[in-house]
Structure 1
């Protein structure tokens, strides 16, 4: 079973054309890559949260729940940067920068998935010129992330009920014990992929070169207006970064 990220809400983001949201997400990721100042990246992360809450009607708890699996990576980043970069305070600041960048990347992607149904997401990719199979592959790959997370949680709970202990022992011992989770996860993943391939074949995927759609998408005035706002904001981000030279810290100078 594939656990969906999409949440059905009556919001501005939900009614936007998927092409606008896809391009907006890509431009947002590019804009975030322009900066490495921790204050700027933290502000952009908070702004993304505010957009999801105000325009997508997505709860703060729902967004934090999806970001929860990234917490270990954030902790590792915050610990390692002060070690590998001197002075340590500046290393910590760069650790915060990379953590905020990672979290904002993930949040932008999750907002796209939470406000766009799988059908519209595939249509958006196809109408942007991508082959249908490519759009379907991207959609399934993104939707499979919460599936793996749910499978991992279920397997860990099942192993703990059988006396499996992950918290005890050194790092090597813990890594060895993780095989009790990784092997069932691999088997379950292969089984799910096999069932998915059978389902796609039974629906005639690839039988015809040109596909027809029962449901189609169409750009409206609000979509053009939203796209114009996104382009203006992206242009402003470029001007602030390269015109004003704001938001970038030289790491090696």
Structure 2
């Protein structure tokens, strides 16, 4: 089962054409890639939090909750960079910058999924020129992230109800105990993938005929205006990075 991630709300982001949101997601990720200075990345992260709250109607605490599964990776990034890079302080700076990149990438993706139905997401990819099979694959891949999150949470709760305690013991003991979650999660993931393949085959996916759609999407004046704003903001990000030379710290220099 692919767990739903979309939340039905009345907000400016929900009402936008999916193509606009896809373009905005790509532009946002590309803009984040331009910078590696925490002085730029940290404000951008909080800016996207505000976008999700004000334009998407998603509470900030709900957005933070979605990012919690990434906390171990963030901690590892913050610990490893000062170890592998000299001087240590600059290594910590790069650790913070890469951690903020990761969190912002995830946040932008989550906002797309929470404000766009799977049907609209696939239609958006198709109307942008992508083959239907590719659009469906990307949509399922994006939705599989919350699916694994929900599966892992359910398995963890089930194991804890049986007396499983991962908090006790040293690091090696804890890692060994995690197999109680990882193995059922792997089995459940394979089962979900198998059920999904059967569902797609039962609907004759890939027959080669031109697809028709019961429901279609159409750009409005508001969507074109939103696209123009997104492109202007991305152009501003390019100007700040390359015109003003801000937001980049040399790793090798």
Q: TM-score range by the shorter chain?
A: over 0.9
Aligned partner of 2:2 in structure 1 is 2
Query: Across the two proteins, how many residue pairs are aligned to each other?
Result: 253
Aligned partner of 1:249 in structure 2 is 249
The one-character-per-residue Cα deviations of 1:4-47 (angstroms, maximum 9, x if unpaired) are 11111111111111111111111111111111110100011011
CA distance in 2, matches of 1:173, 1:35: 39
Aligned partner of 1:235 in structure 2 is 235
Aligned partner of 2:42 in structure 1 is 42
State the TM-score, normalized to the length of structure 1: 0.95
Aligned partner of 1:72 in structure 2 is 72
Question: Cα offset for 1:251?
Answer: 2.1
Question: Cα offset for 1:224?
Answer: 0.7
Q: Which moved more, 1:30-39 or 1:72-81?
A: 72-81
* Gap runs ≥5 in structure 1: none
CA distance in 2, matches of 1:163, 1:49: 37
Question: Cα offset for 1:206?
Answer: 2.3
Aligned partner of 1:173 in structure 2 is 173
Question: Cα offset for 1:151?
Answer: 1.2
Question: Cα offset for 1:165?
Answer: 2.9
SS of the aligned residue for 1:194 comes to helix
Aligned partner of 1:140 in structure 2 is 140
CA distance in 1, matches of 2:245, 2:180: 51
Asked whether 1:106 is paired with 2:114, we answer no
State the TM-score, normalized to the length of structure 2: 0.95
TM alignment of 1:17-36, pairs within 5 A: 17-36=17-36
Aligned partner of 1:15 in structure 2 is 15
CA distance in 2, matches of 1:82, 1:132: 45
CA RMSD across the alignment = 1.4
* Gap runs ≥5 in structure 2: none
CA distance in 2, matches of 1:246, 1:126: 37
Q: Which moved more, 1:158-167 or 1:31-40?
A: 158-167
